[in-house]
Amino acid sequence: MRFGTRELLDIAVAWAALSVAFALFFGGGGRTILYRPGVLVGLLPASLVTAGLGFLLHEMAHKVTAIRFGQVAEFRADYGMLFLAVAGALAGFLFAAPGAVYHQGRATLRENGLIALAGPLTNVALGMVFFPLELLLGGTLGSVAALGVRINFLLAGFNMIPFGPLDGNTVKTWSIPAFLGFGLPCFALAAWAFFGLSFV
């Protein structure tokens, strides 16, 4: 798997911007900077690991799956959306659409659906990896793991929304049963992560 210079730059910028956006969002938005800057400073390293890893593995899952289906695939950042992510987090809401893996080549509807599905499912898997760490670890590491659970479940649910260029729309176009079968659990996990709901 190869990476071009521009692709690596776009990945680095998207990683940094998303990490700042998630740190601001979980830290309370713009008021964090004004009244509690220490919260942002404390959350940013954890966000770099959790949001950064979630973003990177999500996009790499798209890329690996596309390449497996014989596609040429590269990530391109959307700088306007990255600005919106940071600005929105300052205002207290989160819209995480950092860019996309663009792929070229002959692909069936099913293959395109599977390429799209690979990203959200990777976030679910990563959230499941962080979950036992949250339960078992205490202190700072446990807090980082908790952030990893919530960020990855939110990313999975958001990306499965059947709208515009989001993964859910591609999956729904391919197969309604696949969209419902994978999308509904992603939405439920995202709701739990966002609202702190309990299913027991």
Q: Under a CB-based contact definition with an 8 Å cutoff, are residues 187 and 179 in contact?
A: no
pTM, entire model: 0.85
Give strand pairing partners of 73.
103
Residues marked active site are found at 59
Any idea of the CA torsion for 125, 146, 137, 38, to the nearest 10 degrees? Answer: 140
Tell me the pLDDT of the chain (200 aa) as tens digits. 778 889 999 999 999 998 888 888 877 777 767 677 676 777 888 888 888 889 999 999 999 999 999 988 899 999 988 998 888 888 887 777 788 898 887 889 999 999 999 999 999 999 999 999 888 887 878 888 988 998 899 899 999 999 888 899 999 999 999 999 999 999 999 999 888 744 33
Q: How many CA atoms lie within 13 A of 186 on its CB side?
A: 29
